[in-house]
Amino acid sequence: MATQMQMAREGKITDAMKQVALDEHLSPEVIRAGVAKGVIAIPCNINHKGLKPRGVGEGLRVKVNANIGTSSTYPEVAPELDKLAEAVKCGADAVMDLSTGNNIDKSRKEIIEHSPVMVGTVPLYQATVRAIKEHGAVVEMTEEDILETIEKQAKDGADFMTLHCGVTLAAVERMRKQGRIMDIVSRGGSFIAGWMLHNERENPLYEHFDKILDICETYDVTLSLGDGMRPGCTADATDRGQLTELITLGELVDRAWRRGVQVMVEGPGHVPYDQIAANMKLEKRLCRNAPFYVLGPLVTDVAPGYDHITAAIGGTLAAVSGADFLCYVTPAEHLALPTIEDVHTGVITSRIAAHAADMVRGVPGAVEWDRKMAEARKILDWDAQLELAIDPELARKKRGERNKAGEEACSMCGDYCAVKIISKYFDKPQCPCND
């Protein structure tokens, strides 16, 4: 069976392309052309049943991902399914299953089965857990462990996979020579870097890239080239290790596209505000405008408990500057496994950042949404305002708790509502003599 990219290059408009076109208010031909070129990806594994395809990339609405999944501390899958439901309810376009608990296969299969949005995975997590159980240490992991895990997750229906193919010996050595405060903070990046340094061998994800492409082509898995060298603090941003990896990822984009495999590229991380635009432009240049998927970026390191805000500040600028896909950050970032409330806050906050960028990017309907809200506020139409809110439940709750029933103004201004006062003068009929 052909991939979405292969069919697009043959001039075929698939059902997935039609669905994306409908959602984005664009013509199916625009979507087909973008997929054929590689600037749009539609992650939709042939084995993910019940999926509503979404597009990521050039000219499309900025998408939002929510990370969920079990851990060794919290191994039960039921709470993660609740988080999945909450993320979808809040408007997430994707979820990533980052499970490392006792039964990773069960977690992944149930999340994919219950998810109407695209699901991403990180196969190296499961391969690492397997290596510890079977061989006693991460560094004893074999190439077969990795490739078998990738194929298993592809068969199960993972729509996109984060694979840290660009963490090469050269990138690690450049990072070490320049020096970093936080070294490597990516879990997948640290696993593979540790394996490489212990075994004195090149990254097997890089060496066996063609075998990975075979798997992705078979199941139409979108390859999400992971940023294993991403900076873990603002002081480490845009260094030699990060950029060496990015150059390698650009070369791997070319190889994937030659095979007709869809690709996204992942990016930082912790980045000072004044470096964000340059980072986005570098990725787009080196990776030929492949869709760019970023974590944040977080613009400061000092806000644990509020990192959803530091990520939103960076996320809007990143998306205005070229990023296409924002991975949410929750208030629990750097602190704990997120709760369902953290998931809610993380998704809504990232959606705000994405929408602010959509208005600037010229995404159809983005500016109109804000205009409708302004028109509703102008006439104090509370029902319309609450319906248009990005988080209607929270807006209704606050409105109901802090205002008397039927009150036209809000309790902040009360009798001194500026909108109400000025409307008495601006909205009354003008005297003909003033024309």
DSSP track, 153-167: HHHHT-SEEEE-TT-
Residue 416 has which token pair? 């001194």
Quick check: helix, strand or coil at residue 63? strand
Please indicate if the annotation marks 65 as binding a ligand.
no
Is 115 assigned a ligand-binding role in the annotation?
Answer: no
The backbone region for 333, taken as left when phi is positive above 0, alpha when psi lies in -120 to 50, beta otherwise, is beta
At 56 the three-state DSSP class reads: strand
Q: How many Å apart are CA 382 and CA 118, to the nearest integer?
A: 34
Q: Is 417 one of the annotated binding-site residues?
A: yes
113, two tokens: 């089965």
Token digits of residue 170: 């050269």
Residue 91 assigned ligand-binding role: no
Residue 227 in marked binding region: yes
> Is 96 assigned to a binding site?
yes
266 has binding-site annotation: yes
DSSP string for 335-397:
TS---HHHHHHHHHHHHHHHHHHHHHHT-TTHHHHHHHHHHHHHTT-HHHHHHHSSSHHHHHH
Crossing angle of the two packed helices 169-178 and 240-258, in degrees rounded to 10: 160
Q: How far is the C-alpha of 146 from the C-alpha of 123, rounded, in Å?
A: 7
Sign of CA dihedral 69, 292, 64, 233: positive
Task: Tell which residue, 183, 77, 187, has the closest CA to residue 124.
Answer: 187
What does the alpha-carbon distance between residue 428 and residue 426 come to, in Å, rounded to a whole number?
6
- Residue 114 labelled as part of a binding site: no
Cross-strand partners of 294: 267, 326
Strand ranges inside 171-283, DSSP E: 222-225, 263-267
Beta bridge partners of 118: 94
Annotated binding residue at 270? yes
Residue 199, marked binder: no
The token pair that represents 211 in the structure block: 């075998």
Is 82 within any annotated ligand binding site?
no
Tally DSSP H helices, then E strands, for the chain. 19, 10
Cis before residue 365, ω within 30 degrees of 0? no
Answer yes or no: is 229 a known binding residue: yes
Known binding positions for Zn(2+): 270, 334
Annotated binding site: 67, 96, 125, 164, 186-188, 227-230, 266, 270, 293, 334, 410, 413, 417
Binding residues for substrate: 67, 96, 125, 164, 186-188, 227-230, 266, 293
- Binding-site residues for [4Fe-4S] cluster, in ranges, read 410, 413, 417
